[in-house]
Amino acid sequence: MKIGIFDSGFGGLTILDSLLRRLPQYDYLYLGDSARSPYGGRSLEIVHRFTREAVQWLFDEGCGLVVIACNTASALALQALRRRHPTVPILGVVRPGATAAALATRTGRIGVVATEATVQSGAYFAAIKEESPAVVVAERAASALVPLIESGELDSPRLDAAIGEVLAPLRSGPGSWSIDTLLLGCTHFPLIRAAFARCLGESVAVVDAAAAAAAGLADVVAV
């Protein structure tokens, strides 16, 4: 079987990497819409249209299953695409990431970092609440980190400062959310996982939606 992977750009290669390690026996076709990325600041209608076109292309190329690796596209367009293609499996990253975060928390306080569009969609908030209604979810839009990562800045004082600003309301301390789990809800963020972990300290678990989705897909195709 050929598995299609779609992302707004190259960030979804983090999922492809996880999949190649877990499921090397399949063929993969990766579509990164670099010409129109980033998606994280775009409207619902545009993200729908771009994602619809991409998924259709992957099916036209013979993929028997499609993974929407882009968090923004998963958050905004997955449900509509499943209605459009009811007989073929389309997987997203939001549900697996939400489940992994809900399992990881001990104090019931989860932070999510994602693009503006993903945060505005409320998809992670809703999915985590469905998993575990009593959990407190605090989301932070962090699209500003994407261009830094794309320019190759994976370990620098400027990146640490930008991460510190994003995470400030989530960290422990008076008036903050004091999360014990951070969910990386953007394809690019696993690339700077170490910088997030450094900023939050050892007491906070960092959960990666891409790795969770890859593990979920391994379960689906193994059936």
Catalytic amino acids? 70, 186
CB nearer ligand DGL, residue 37 or residue 105: 37
**Judged by CB under 6 A, which stretch of 19-27, 65-73, 169-177, 196-204 contacts ligand DGL?**
65-73
Of the residues 14, 51, 71, 181, which one makes contact with ligand DGL according to CB under 6 A: 71
Q: What is the identity of the amino acid at 20?
A: L
Give 116 or 180: the residue with its C-beta nearer to ligand DGL: 116
**Least gap, CB of 48 to ligand DGL (angstroms):** 14
Beta bridge pairs of residue 29 = 4
Q: Could you say whether residue 121 binds ligand DGL (CB under 6 A)?
A: no
Residue 187 binding ligand DGL, by CB under 6 A: yes
* Strands 65-68 vs 90-91: parallel, antiparallel or unpaired: parallel
Nearest CB to ligand DGL, comparing residues 45 and 202? 45
- Indicate whether 51 belongs to the interface with ligand DGL (CB under 6 A): no
Sequence-ordered list of residues with C-beta below 8 angstroms from that of 6, at least 6 positions apart, any chain: 12, 30, 31, 32, 33, 51, 54, 55, 58, 66, 67, 68, 69, 70, 73
Which residues does 211 contact at the CB level (< 8 Å), separation at least 6? Answer: 18, 100, 190
Residue 39 corresponds to which amino acid? Y
Q: Return the number of the residue (3 or 40) whose C-beta is nearest ligand DGL.
A: 40
Contacts with ligand DGL by CB under 6 A: the residue count is 17
51-90: b or e for each residue (b if 16 or more CB lie within 10 Å)? bbebbebbbeeebebbbbbbbbbbbbbbeebeeeeeeeeb
Contact footprint for ligand DGL (CB under 6 A) = 7-9, 11, 37-40, 70-72, 115, 118, 146, 186-188
